[in-house]
Chain A
Amino acid sequence: MLNLLWLIPALPFLGFLLLAVFGGRMNKTGVAFLGVGSVGISALLTILIGIDFISSPPDGYSFNQTLWVWMNIAGFKPGIAFHLDSLSLIFTFAISFVGFLIHIYSAEFMIDDEGYSRFFAYMNLFVALMITLVLADNFLLLYLGWEGVGLCSYLLIGFWYKEPANVYAANKAFIVTRIGDTSMAIGLFLLVLHFNTLDIQNILQSVSTQWVRGSSLAVLTAFLLLGGALGKSAQLPLQTWLPDAMAGPSPVSALIHAATMVTAGVYLIARTHTLFDFAPIAQNAVATIGALTLLIAGFSALTQTDIKKVLAYSTISQIGYMFLALGVGAWALGIFHFMIHAFFKALLFLAAGAVINALHHEHNMFKMGGLRKELPVVYWTFLIASASLAAFPLITAGFYSKDEIIWYSWASNIGSPWLWLISLIGAFITSVYTFRMVFAIFFGEQKTPVSQKPGKRIKITLIVLAALSVLGGFVELPETMGGFAPFTHFLHHTLPAVALRSEESGIELLFQIITAVLTLAGIYLAYQFYFKNVKFTERFKQTGLSKFLFSGCGFDWLYDRAFMYPAIFFARINRNDFIDNIYTFITWLSTALNGMLIKTQTGRIRWYATVITMGAVITLTIVLVS
């Protein structure tokens, strides 16, 4: 069964190839069948392989499959090879399964779009490359997937390319992530230079035996890889592309935010955890960046009016939590939050897409309202996902994943009260902005009439994801609730367990109660300020602080001034390209000489004859004299 591993990325890739070549000639049913089917079989295979892997684990709890050697240059031979262990299995599962649900949803959602087959071709490629990324056995193949998802995100964000704004957003996403990718590529060059291999397991092995903990080389490499992760995962300071990436269709946002693309950074850090372990400064940076990002993005989400932008900022914020977990050494919990986040964030985006479609492409959530009765399925699933995002205590999956992260940001031996405080504030803000959104969209009076109700395929997708958003949490219970944690036990075959500060063990329950109370307070606050007592918030909207937060804390403004304007300025100065002047001079010279020669062409035969004679005389003279 494990030998079928290669089919998981290969099937969506095959789907992409078929759709890209024959998609234009197929009817929409055929396109949907092929596009959804390829990912569907891939998801089914993942589940079967996962069951096989767990029930009869291979030696060393990992399975390698080499298809062929990619290239062989002086002993450096990366292969097209896959490595399955508990970490990549969980990622593959989340990607293929959530991706499959998003595909089902898209089959209905995009039905009226003229680019139907193009859409599914891109989506299939996206899933294929993301699975390649997480299954890759060496960094080169991982980098292929890494750049591939970058390309697909570019294609899908700019899917409606007739709008210049969408193309701008696609360019922005591509260029900003490219900054991180460059840093990552340099990091990989460093690794090749030292180990002459890109095989991930080999490198991690060599790092732990050959490098010194905290040496500048380890720190430098870790920081360079972190740069790549920051770009892809939209963390501070490269987070600006994600809110603009909302230009794509809603299923694309769901795919980018939940299953693919932005979680690549989390995967990279978890995969190279040994390296980060050997570079404590870099690991601290991961935690600090995660904490700052989750706070800043959370505040920005508070002021947004576009429903998809709220969700975008909440993604940045939640990935901040994952980074925080990785940064304090709670590797498995970062991955757990990734999986739960994939469920509820995909659900939120898909439900938001259904709402937007129902209201004539209205994005402003304050023009919605009262949709509770009109769209009951969307309402309930959205509510469940929101509760999960806000970490509503006990019943939602988000509670189990986020609460643990908050606890470990204090209790881990490299955690600190500051990180805990920030993550706690973040949790509070999360519940405020999430329920602000719920109240604005589904409660109050109806402001826009519903034009189109979601169909069967959309509803099924939403319900399945809602079930996962609730039940997904019960595979990982905190110590205080029995400590039934098969998920982390499973992951601990690959990732080390979190090391606790010895003295803090009995107060976990207290921390959980604080978090739970704050979450509920946040929901109440949202109810007060955005539902009952709107006047205060109207006044707040006029303040400079609100505008500052609305613009994403001015990062775009800052980057415009720091990088874009100088670049444009120099471009203006050098408009008449300096180097070009040399070549312009050459053309000018030949034109001038040409003008002079033209004058000798008088059209008089006698003049020509005279010149020929003169030439002959001169030549003869030279020959005779010399």
Chain B
Amino acid sequence: MTFVPFESGLILAAVLFLLGLIGVLVRRNIIFMLLSTEIMLNASGLAFVTASARWMQPEGQVMFIFILAMAAAEVSVGLALIMQIYHQFKTLDTDTLNNMKG
């Protein structure tokens, strides 16, 4: 059984997190922003699991299950909101959806 080195696990998590973050920042379509958030969530989950493997402690994995459950809930609510937004504004471009400014 080969252990993935602790550092590479963390680096992968960091890369995934950054990709997600960039996705959130540059994408204008709200569905892709939601997808990018999911990537960020999973990146942090990966970091938890790696850490739990490194110290042989179960808490990290427990935390990941929490994150999964939360992600599922978040996606369901988020998708419902997106449906409503599209229904109301006929667009998914977040830059045009700026009715809440100042």
Binding stretch for chain B, among A29-37, A411-419, A557-565, A594-602: A594-602
**Interfacial residues of chain A within 165-200, with CB under 8 A of chain B in the complex:** none
Residues in B neighbouring A606, C-beta threshold 8 A: 24-26, 28, 33, 94-95
**Does the CB pair B98–A604 fall under 8 Å?**
yes
- A330 → chain B, closest Cβ, in Å? 85
Main secondary structure of the interface of B (DSSP, over half): loop
**Interfacial residues of chain B within 11-30, with CB under 8 A of chain A in the complex:** 21, 24-26, 28, 30
**Does the CB pair A603–B99 fall under 8 Å?**
yes
Partner among B26, B28, B102 whose Cβ is within 8 Å of the Cβ of A601: B102
Residues in B neighbouring A605, C-beta threshold 8 A: 30, 33, 94, 97
**Does the CB pair B100–A609 fall under 8 Å?**
no
A599 and B24 alpha carbons, distance in the complex (Å): 22
A604 and B27 alpha carbons, distance in the complex (Å): 12
Bitwise interface map of A from 577 to 606 toward B, beta carbon under 8 Å scored 1, else 0: 000000000000000000000110111111
A402 and B34 alpha carbons, distance in the complex (Å): 106
**Does the CB pair B25–A604 fall under 8 Å?**
no
Main secondary structure of the interface of A (DSSP, over half): helix
B90 interfacial contact with A, CB 8 Å: no
A528 interfacial contact with B, CB 8 Å: no
**Does the CB pair B102–A604 fall under 8 Å?**
no
Determine the residue in chain B with the shortest Cβ distance to A604: B98
Q: A598-B102, A599-B102 are in contact. Are A604 and B95 (CB under 8 A)?
A: yes
A610 interfacial contact with B, CB 8 Å: yes
Bitwise interface map of B from 70 to 102 toward A, beta carbon under 8 Å scored 1, else 0: 000000000000000000000000110111111
**Does the CB pair B98–A613 fall under 8 Å?**
no
Determine the residue in chain B with the shortest Cβ distance to A610: B25
A601 and B100 alpha carbons, distance in the complex (Å): 8
- B63 → chain A, closest Cβ, in Å? 20
A601 and B21 alpha carbons, distance in the complex (Å): 21
Residues in A neighbouring B25, C-beta threshold 8 A: 606, 609-610, 613
Listed in ascending order, the chain B residues whose CB lies under 8 Å from chain A are 21, 24-26, 28, 30, 33, 94-95, 97-102
A-B contact pairs, 30 of them (CB 8 A): A598-B102, A599-B102, A601-B100, A601-B101, A601-B102, A602-B98, A602-B101, A602-B102, A603-B97, A603-B98, A603-B99, A603-B100, A603-B101, A603-B102, A604-B94, A604-B98, A604-B101, A605-B30, A605-B33, A605-B94, A605-B97, A606-B24, A606-B26, A606-B28, A606-B94, A606-B95, A609-B24, A609-B25, A610-B25, A613-B25
Listed in ascending order, the chain A residues whose CB lies under 8 Å from chain B are 598-599, 601-606, 609-610, 613
Q: Which 7 residue pairs spanning A and B have beta carbons closest together? A: A603-B101, A603-B98, A601-B102, A598-B102, A603-B100, A605-B94, A602-B101
